């Protein structure tokens, strides 16, 4: 039995852990063994020497990320059990082995008991993205566990962690296949809509899976409508609008590569009413924003830390104000924020302020969030990051 190094917490600092919150902040640590290195597995104890959990250690504000609240050996079998549990949940959600959808999030960090790890499934290919050194150091064992769980249904595992890990650790680190390969144009289906996926060169893991249910909802409103999809990336919302019979769909993104792939997705889905524009969204709204029945605002995170949240609020307000000044009467605004530091109430109030300044009356149709494979748990509310609102605009 391997003996792991120890962290001991100050008196009282064990309370969040006893409520199964997985983070150990640096200020909570009273003592630690001298030989601990970044990425090591450690045992966490209270000041009274009560065992609290197994964590992965990393110097920083969040020093420990708990991967088990019971004593265990962290080996291939450990990860097999983790992945089996996550896979069973995706089966319960009717995502795994679904002939209409073959793309989903398999592991969503803390929500699946794997802090610092994201794994997305793309029609047999899994993209592994570590946000902590501990998870990256476990990548070989995790790959073996994936092979155990998926068997012949696993085509490849691709490590795409170089941009998500601390720079002093990731310097010189290359993204690479940990298993298998992908030598073909990868196509996935989501609710019977087809998409090309470039997980090697694309943003994040290659596709924004978290909007799956919101895209389907948008589709239900799209028949006969003129639709504008801003910050479109590769056209997730756009292809759903086209599938559901919109009159026209325009996709706008500042990335020419994203629009190129968006146009390929339109051809893939036999969409003849789509046109993509590689321009800045703010410029497009200013010059061409009128005459749309539906406008979708799905920008990247305007703020990743609280010290810039005020600037983010200004950005969200300006963006929504420009859309509301242009959208046709009786139109629908779908607006989103994925900034974790902007909570639901603040986002709602920001969009409300934009409506007031635009002198537009709105009726709330839907409050939107992330799908269930982007797991939210009561013990880790920080996992809820995606906020969305759908308004009828008078």
Exposure string of 252-289, with b = 16+ CB inside 10 Å and e = fewer, is bbebeebbebbbbbbebbebeebebbbeebbebbeeeb
Name the strand (E) or helix (H) holding 248.
Answer: strand 248-252
Which strands form 6-9's sheet, in the order they lie side by side? 23-25, 62-68, 51-57, 41-45, 6-9, 29-32
Per-residue model confidence (pLDDT) at position 305:
61
Tell whether the model's pLDDT for residue 321 goes beyond 80.
yes
pLDDT at position 226 is: 98
The predicted model gives 110-119 an average pLDDT of 98
d(CA 25, CA 36) in angstroms, rounded, equals 16
The percentage of residues in the chain with a pLDDT greater than 70, rounded to a whole number, is 98
Helix (H), strand (E) at residue 218: helix 212-220
Adjacency order of strands within the sheet including 156-159: 103-108, 117-122, 125-130, 156-159, 176-180
Domain covering 208-393, topology = Rossmann fold (3.40.50)
Average pLDDT over residues 346-354: 96
Q: What is the pLDDT of residues 139-170, one digit of tens each?
A: 999 999 999 999 999 999 999 999 999 999 98
Calculate the CA dihedral of residues 55, 57, 62, 67 and round it to 10 degrees: -20
Asked if pLDDT for residue 28 goes beyond 90, the answer is yes
What pTM does this model have? 0.95
CA angle 88, 93, 96 (to 5 degrees): 60
Question: How far apart are alpha carbons 213 and 302 in whole angstroms?
Answer: 23
Q: Beta-carbon neighbour count of residue 92 at 10 Å?
A: 10
In this structure, what DSSP letter does residue 170 have? H
Local confidence band at 342 (pLDDT 50, 70, 90 cut-offs): confident
Higher pLDDT, residue 290 or 149? 149
Does the pLDDT at position 307 exceed 70? no
- 289: confidence class by pLDDT, cuts 50, 70, 90: confident
Query: Which candidate, 179, 85, 82, places its Cα nearest to that of 128?
Result: 179
Q: Is 262 strand, coil or helix? A: helix
pLDDT at 308 (0 to 100): 66
Q: Quick one: CA dihedral 333, 334, 338, 341, positive or negative?
A: positive
pLDDT at res. 19 = 97
- Looking at residue 183, its pLDDT comes to 87
Predicted confidence at residue 341, as pLDDT, reads: 81
Query: Is residue 383 pLDDT above 70, yes or no?
Result: yes
Mean of the per-residue pLDDT values of the chain: 95
Percent of the chain residues topping a pLDDT of 90:
92
In this prediction, residues 179-184 reach a mean pLDDT of 93
Asked whether residue 227 carries a pLDDT value surpassing 90, the answer given is: yes
CB contact at 8 A, 215 and 189 = no
Q: 143 by DSSP, 3-state: which?
A: helix
**Residue 191 confidence (pLDDT):** 97
Q: For the chain, what are the domain ranges?
A: 6-68, 76-187, 208-393
Rounded (5°) CA angle 77-79-80: 60
3-state helix, strand, coil in the chain (%, to 5): 35, 30, 40
CATH of 76-187, one of 3.30.750.80, 3.40.50.2000, 1.10.357.10, 1.10.1040.10: 3.30.750.80
Residues 154, 179 contacting (CB under 8 angstroms): yes
Looking at the domain 6-68, which fold is it?
2.30.130
Q: Would the CATH topology of 76-187 be identical to that of 208-393?
A: no
Polymer length in residues for the chain: 394
- The model's confidence at residue 312, banded by pLDDT at 50, 70 and 90, is confident
Beta-carbon contacts of 98 under 8 Å, excluding residues fewer than 6 positions away, are none
The predicted-structure confidence for 41-60, as pLDDT tens digits, reads as follows 999 999 999 999 999 999 99
């Amino acid at each position: 039995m391997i003996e792991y190094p120890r962290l001991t917490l100050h008196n009282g600092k064990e309370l969040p852990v006893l409520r199964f919150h997985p983070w150990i902040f640096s200020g909570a640590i009273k003592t630690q063994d001298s030989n601990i290195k970044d990425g090591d597995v450690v045992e966490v104890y209270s000041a009274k020497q009560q065992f609290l959990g197994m964590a992965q250690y990393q110097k920083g504000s969040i020093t420990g990320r708990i991967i088990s609240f019971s004593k265990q050996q962290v080996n291939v079998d450990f990860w097999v059990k983790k992945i089996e549990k996550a896979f069973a949940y995706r089966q319960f959600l009717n995502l795994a082995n679904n002939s209409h959808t073959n793309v989903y999030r398999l592991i969503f960090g803390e929500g699946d008991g794997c802090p610092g790890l994201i794994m997305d499934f793309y029609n047999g290919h899994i993209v592994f993205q570590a946000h902590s050194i501990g998870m990256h150091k476990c990548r070989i064992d995790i790959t073996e566990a994936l092979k155990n769980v998926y068997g012949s249904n696993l085509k490849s595992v691709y490590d795409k962690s170089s941009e998500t890990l601390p720079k002093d650790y990731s310097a010189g680190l290359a993204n690479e296949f940990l298993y298998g390969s992908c030598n073909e144009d990868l196509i996935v289906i989501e609710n019977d809509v087809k998409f090309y996926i470039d997980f090697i060169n694309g943003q994040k893991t290659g596709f924004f899976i978290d909007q799956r249910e919101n895209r389907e909802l948008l589709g239900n409103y799209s028949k006969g409508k003129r639709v504008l999809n801003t910050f479109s990336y590769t056209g997730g919302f756009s292809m759903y609008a086209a599938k559901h019979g919109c009159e026209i769909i325009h996709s706008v993104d500042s990335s020419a590569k994203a629009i190129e792939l968006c146009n390929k997705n339109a051809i893939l889905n036999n969409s003849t009413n789509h046109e993509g524009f590689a321009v800045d969204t703010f410029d497009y709204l200013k010059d061409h924003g009128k005459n749309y029945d539906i406008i979708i605002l799905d920008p990247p995170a305007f703020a990743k830390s609280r010290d810039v949240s005020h600037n983010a609020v200004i950005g969200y307000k300006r963006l929504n104000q420009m859309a509301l000044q242009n959208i046709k009467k009786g139109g629908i605004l779908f607006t989103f924020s994925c900034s974790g530091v902007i909570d639901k109430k603040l986002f709602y109030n920001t969009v409300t302020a934009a409506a007031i300044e635009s002198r537009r009356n709105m009726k709330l149709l839907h409050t939107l969030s992330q799908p269930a494979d982007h797991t939210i748990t009561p013990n880790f509310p920080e996992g809820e990051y995606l906020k969305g609102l759908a308004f009828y605009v008078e």
